[in-house]
Chains A and B, each alone.
Chain A
Amino acid sequence: MADLALHGLTKTFGKTKVLHGIDLAVQDGEFVVFVGPSGCGKSTTLRIIAGLEDATAGTVEIGGRVVNNLEPKDRDIAMVFQNYALYPHMTVRKNIGFGLRTSRLSRAEKAARIAEVAGVLGMTDLLDRRPSQLSGGQRQRVAIGRAMVRDPKVFLFDEPLSNLDAQLRTQMRLEIKKLHKQVGTTIIFVTHDQVEAMTLADRIVIMKDGVIQQVGTPSEVFNAPANVFVARFIGAPAMNLLPGSWREGGVALDMGGQIALPGRQLADGTRVDLGIRPTDLAISADGAGQITGAITLVEPLGAESMLYIDAGGVEIIAACPGRTAPDPGQQIRLSADPEALHLFDATTGEALR
């Protein structure tokens, strides 16, 4: 069915190369999220899949068919745009129906299809309204409806939630996920928000500067990041990176202190970055922790508090339960679970396993 495959996709705008060989295979019915900072090439990749941009080199395959030279309409895809691209002068019905303009269905069949989609999205009552009479979330739903009505093999979402306020975004995120469960169509979803990526995706594709950094399930990219970039991009607040050198089965931190990493073998003196997620650091009451520092700032988030700690000139963030948060200025010792430590090559940034 509709598996999607990208082979060696590159894209050059003038002299700027924005995609450096993207290879990816997406299974039928999979929900794949492209995530990365602005300018990483995720939207460009999506637009190449859609056929709105030409690839400089490489192929796009949809359902086993190379579609590079096909018009967007012939690729069996539908796209939801960031600004929804709803025509303000048309009613919701016409907007949804616009995707059927070129289909060979009869008038009655089209009407039935529109009604069906409106039913699925719970907006049967809104069909005769104009986009300006709808709320942000409703508009978003119309945009999805317009894509659904075409019954495509692949849905493409280009940052569809970034125009919504935080609360609505969470709600629509859930609805999109439910919809995917219900419809089961392959979805490629582009976002810059790692939380969206984590919550929605079957698999996440993390991109930076036109290169895929890692492809994996949310838990894979969170628990076993391939490099420093992925480690710091996924998870909030970002992972702490402590520079040091390998010595005697552990890391001798530059700021002082030795952290043992049992079961790993590296040449003594190798420069490494030790990665510890803020949530994996714990305040050790008995003074047994390997890292010491002074709290400079406490950020209460309710359930937990973020402690900003100055540890020998390196800023470390640690999470602690909100109720027992220490005060700024206090000296504390932190210990880390050896299982939750990540090791990166200091020069290449690649994970050392």
Chain B
Amino acid sequence: MGLFHNPTVEQRRTRWAWTFLALPIVFYVVVRFWPTADAFVLSFEKWNLLKPREFVGWKNYVELWNDPVFWKVFRNTFAYLLIGTPISLVLSFFVAWHLDKVRFMHGTIRALYFLPFMTSAVAMAWVWRWFYQPVPIGLFNNLLSSFGFSQIKFLASTTNALPSVLAPAIWAGLGFQIIIFMAGLRAIPGSYYEAARIDGVSGLTVLWEITLPLLKPTIVFIVVFSSIGFLRIFDQVFNMTTNDPGGPLNATKPLVLLIYQTAFASYDMGYAAAQTVVLFLILLAVSLLQLYIMRDRV
């Protein structure tokens, strides 16, 4: 029973499986895993793309630790995560929960919510950037002033800029989360709700004790997915603060944008790699933490 002469069905199947898997594996190793590994190596080196790479030990990490901009960016990134994830989670659940009950134009309404998810983030960022401009250009400020309110500096203020950039990012992700939530809601058997009706419990009890616990796998998925999205936010920030990316005064700059600037504006590849490693570790930690918290499967 050799593997090549007269193989068993099992062996033959395995052989075919590996044949088909070979291409993606090669692709992933060359395009994903190897560069990832190299980034870890690079984070201990100094390299400006032209001179040879030079080992510098922990220097990049020490520099990062002592860099006030890095800490500012670090805080920003977590602000995106900690504001964005819960808001988008609650909003998308709220919409999905109600949309699930709507029969009238259900498909159209759902498509409308999904539309932003399919739209290019860059185009959307620029439209929102226009919304935020002062009078007479910006939509929001025009509305405010026509009702007699004073204008708001959306993107020009260090306190308002981050939420203003976050808003379209939340909006853009909403459609996807709504679809996932609706799928989760649909998967709950109707008899659970009917049994609850016969037991006569309140709508709030049904929501808290039946719907939400049964949606837990869906919620875990959406939380992990949107967390990763917010931790990697870039397009919206870069395009909406295009005159001074991440500005004003680094108020909106997320980690990915910092990495981008370190690498492709300052050409400090080793330092950028160190930042990337930090981002990777944050993503890993956040994901593992969430999976751990929500591990108790239904």
Q: Is B150 an interface residue (CB 8 A)?
A: no
Which residues, 155 to 203 on B, are CB-close (under 8 Å) to A? 189, 191-192, 194-201
In the docked arrangement, what's the CA distance between A83 and B195, Å?
11
Closest Cβ of chain B to A43, distance in Å, is 12
Most A-side CB within 10 Å, residue of B194, B198, B298:
B198
Closest to A150 in B: B199
Q: Is the CB of A85 within 8 A of B189?
A: yes
Contact of B198 among A77, A82, A87, A88 (CB under 8 A): A77
Most B-side CB within 10 Å, residue of A51, A79, A82, A89:
A89
Q: Is A74 an interface residue (CB 8 A)?
A: yes
Q: Is A101 an interface residue (CB 8 A)?
A: yes
Known: A89-B214, A101-B205. A73 touches B298 (CB 8 A): no
Q: Mark A309-330, 1 if CB is under 8 A from B, else 0.
A: 0000000000000000000000
Most A-side CB within 10 Å, residue of B189, B199, B214:
B199
Q: Is A52 an interface residue (CB 8 A)?
A: yes
Q: Mark A14-57, 1 if CB is under 8 A from B, else 0.
A: 00000000000000000000000000000000000011100000
Chain A contacts for B191, CB-based, 8 A: 81-83, 85
Q: Is A135 an interface residue (CB 8 A)?
A: no
Q: Is the CB of B194 within 8 A of A85?
A: yes
In the docked arrangement, what's the CA distance between A78 and B194, Å?
11
Q: Is A98 an interface residue (CB 8 A)?
A: yes
Q: How many residues of A contact B (CB 8 A)?
A: 23
Q: Is the CB of B192 within 8 A of A71?
A: no
Known: A87-B210, A88-B214. A101 touches B194 (CB 8 A): no
Q: Is the CB of B201 within 8 A of A98?
A: yes
Known: A81-B194, A81-B195, A89-B214. A101 touches B189 (CB 8 A): no
Which residues, 2 to 20 on B, are CB-close (under 8 Å) to A? none
Interface majority SS (helix, strand, loop, mixed), chain A: loop
Q: Is B35 an interface residue (CB 8 A)?
A: no
Contact of A101 among B199, B213, B216, B298 (CB under 8 A): B199
Q: Is A72 an interface residue (CB 8 A)?
A: yes
Q: Is A347 an interface residue (CB 8 A)?
A: no
Q: Is A102 an interface residue (CB 8 A)?
A: yes
Q: How many residues of B contact A (CB 8 A)?
A: 18
Which residues, 58 to 97 on A, are CB-close (under 8 Å) to B? 71-74, 77-79, 81-83, 85, 87-89
Chain A contacts for B192, CB-based, 8 A: 85, 87
Closest to B213 in A: A89
Q: Is the CB of A85 within 8 A of B195?
A: yes
Q: Is the CB of A72 within 8 A of B201?
A: no
Chain B contacts for A79, CB-based, 8 A: 194-195, 198
Known: A85-B189, A89-B214, A89-B298. A52 touches B194 (CB 8 A): yes
Q: Is the CB of A102 within 8 A of B197?
A: no
Q: Is A99 an interface residue (CB 8 A)?
A: yes
In the docked arrangement, what's the CA distance between A71 and B189, Å?
21
Q: Is the CB of A102 within 8 A of B201?
A: yes
In the docked arrangement, what's the CA distance between A75 and B126, Å?
59
Q: Is the CB of B197 within 8 A of A71?
A: yes
Chain B contacts for A89, CB-based, 8 A: 213-214, 216, 298
Q: Is the CB of A101 within 8 A of B195?
A: no
Known: A81-B194, A82-B191, A85-B194. A71 touches B213 (CB 8 A): no
Q: Mark B263-298, 1 if CB is under 8 A from A, else 0.
A: 000000000000000000000000000000000001
Please list the residues of chain A having a beta carbon within 8 angstroms of any beta carbon in chain B: 50-52, 71-74, 77-79, 81-83, 85, 87-89, 98-99, 101-102, 146, 150
- Going nearest first, the 6 A-B pairs with the smallest beta carbon separation are A73-B200, A85-B195, A85-B191, A81-B191, A89-B213, A72-B198
Please list the residues of chain B having a beta carbon within 8 angstroms of any beta carbon in chain A: 189, 191-192, 194-201, 205, 209-210, 213-214, 216, 298
Besides A52-B198, A72-B200, A85-B194, 8 new A-B residue pairs in contact (Cβ under 8 A), listed by A number: A51-B197, A73-B199, A77-B198, A85-B191, A87-B209, A87-B210, A87-B214, A99-B199
